[in-house]
Amino acid sequence: MGIYAPLQEEPILLHHSTQEMASYLKPGKHVHLIGIGGVSMCALGMVLHGMGITVTGSDMHQSKATDHLEETGIPVAIGHKAENIAGADCIIRTAAVHDENPEIVAAAEKGIPVFERAQSWGYIMTAYKNAVCFSGTHGKTTTTSMMTHIAMEAGIDPTVMIGGYLNLLDAGHRVGHGDTIIMESCEYCNSFLNFTPTIAVILDIDADHLDFFKDLEDIKHSFRQFAELTPADRGIVIANGMDKNTMDALQGIDRRLITFGLTPDMDVYPLHFDRGHSSFDVMCKGSFYTHVDLRVLGKHNCMDALAAIAAAWALGIEPEAVTRGLVSFTGAARRMEFKGVYNGADIYDDYAHHPGELKATLDAVPERGYSRTIVVFQPHTYSRTKALFPEFVEQLRRPDLTILAEIYAARETNTCGISSKDLADQIPGAEYYKTFDEITQRLRDIAAPGDLILTIGAGDIYLVGEALANAN
C-alpha cells in the first residue's frame, strides 16, 4: 500500500510531505504535538509514545486529556511558547494551529519540519494490514464505536481512534497490538484524504462544512477520492446504498463495493424488524449472517449498525462477535447520553449539529414515550447556521419547546452577521437566551415529570444539562 500526500487546494506555508515522516516517526526521535489535548491528537500522542518515540506536547488549556497524557509520561506545556519545542525533531499540529502560532514560527526559524495531524495518522495506518476508516456526514462516531465493540469481542486487539469518548475504552482511543486499525475519518479540510484505508466506509454524504467545500458536488468529489485511496487490488468500499449522494459519488468505481441499507436489494440488510428497529436478523448477500439486538433506538442507529456489520463481514469476523459487540454498545458519549434527572424530567445530551442529524435524533424521540420534549440547541459555527438556516428552522419547529443558545463560534469569527435569535424569530414559541445561566434557570422553572430535556450541539451546551442535573 502506498503513502499518500494530502490533497489540499491551499498550500500550507511549512508543509512537508507524508513521505518525509518515515524519517521522524520511529524510535529514538522526539516529536512535539501542538494542540495535544484534542481527541485525535491525544490518541496520536499515545500511539507515538507506544511506538517508542519521545513525545511532548502543548495545549492552550489543561484538561482530563492533558492530565492523562502527563500520567502516561508525556509532558504537556499549557500555553503555546517557542521554548516548548526545544529538542524536537519534528512538529505535528492540528488544523486549528496556524502558521503564526509561536511554536510554528520557532519551528520555521530552526528548520524543524511541520506535519499535519491527518498526515501522521495516514502514515501510521500503513503499518496495519487492515485500516477500516468510517466516513460520512453523519454517524461517524457512533459507527466507529460500534465497530470497536465488535472488534474487541472478536479479540483482534485493534488500534482505535474515535472522535468522542467510549465507555468501553474509557477514552476515545486505544493502542492495540493486532493488525487492524479502526479510524473515524473526517472530511473537513479534506483531512481524510491523508489516510490510507483498506476498507473505506461511507455512511452518507450531505451538504456540510461549506466554509471549506464549494458545494455538494465538491463534497461528493472528495468522498470519491477517499474511496479511491483503498488499494486497487484488495480495497473494499462499503457504502450506504440508500443514499443518492453516496451512490452518485461512487458511480463506476473500480473497487469491490458492498452496499448496506434497509431493503433486500442491498448487500447487507435487516429482516424481521422489532421494537423500533432495535432487533433484527442480518442478511449478507442473501444469506443469514447473525441476529442483532441493539440497545440504542432509531432508524439511524440501525443504519449505523448495518455499516459496522458490513465492515465486520468484510473482515471475516465471526457472527457471534458481531452479536455480542452490538448488544454491549449503549451509545458513545454525547450521542443521546443520559445526564440525569431534575424534578422528574430526564436530561439527555446529543452532539447533533447538522439538520440531518437533528432530524435523526428527533425522529427517535417518540419511541421513548415522553409527554413533552424540550430541546436546548446551540448552533455550531456561523457559516453552517447561515448556509442551512431553513433546514435548521424546519427541524427546530418540531419539539414542544425550543430554547436557543448563542452560536458556538469554534474556528470562526462572525462575518455572517447571524445570531441564534434569528432562528428563534422563525420558530413559533422558541426562546433565546444569551447565557447558559439564564437557560439553566429557565429549565429549573419549567421542568416537570414526563419531560425530556435534550441539549443538542457540538459545542459546550452539554454544560447546561450537567448544571441542571447537579441542581437537585
pLDDT digits over 214-238, tens only? Answer: 899 999 999 999 999 999 999 999 9
pLDDT given for residue 10 in this prediction: 37
Kindly report the average pLDDT of the chain as a whole number: 90
Residues 151 and 281 in one domain: yes
Residues 108 and 196 in one domain: no
Highest mean pLDDT among 69-73, 337-341, 407-411: 69-73
**Which three three-digit cell numbers place residue 470?**
447537579
| Number of independent structural domains in the chain | 3
**Per-residue pLDDT for 9 more than 50?**
no
Rounded Cα–Cα distance for residues 419 and 428 (Å):
17
Residue 197 lies in a domain: yes
Query: Mean pLDDT over residues 57-69, rounded?
Result: 92
Query: Mean pLDDT over residues 102-128, rounded?
Result: 94
The reported pTM is 0.75
- Quickly state the pLDDT bin for 5 (edges 50, 70, 90): very low
Rounded Cα–Cα distance for residues 469 and 77 (Å):
33
**Per-residue pLDDT for 13 more than 50?**
no
Residue 2 lies in a domain: no
Residues 244 and 172 in one domain: yes
Residue 279 lies in a domain: yes
CATH number at residue 93: 3.40.50.720
Residue 6 lies in a domain: no
Rounded Cα–Cα distance for residues 110 and 39 (Å):
28
Residues 148 and 86 in one domain: no
The whole domain housing 50 covers 18-117
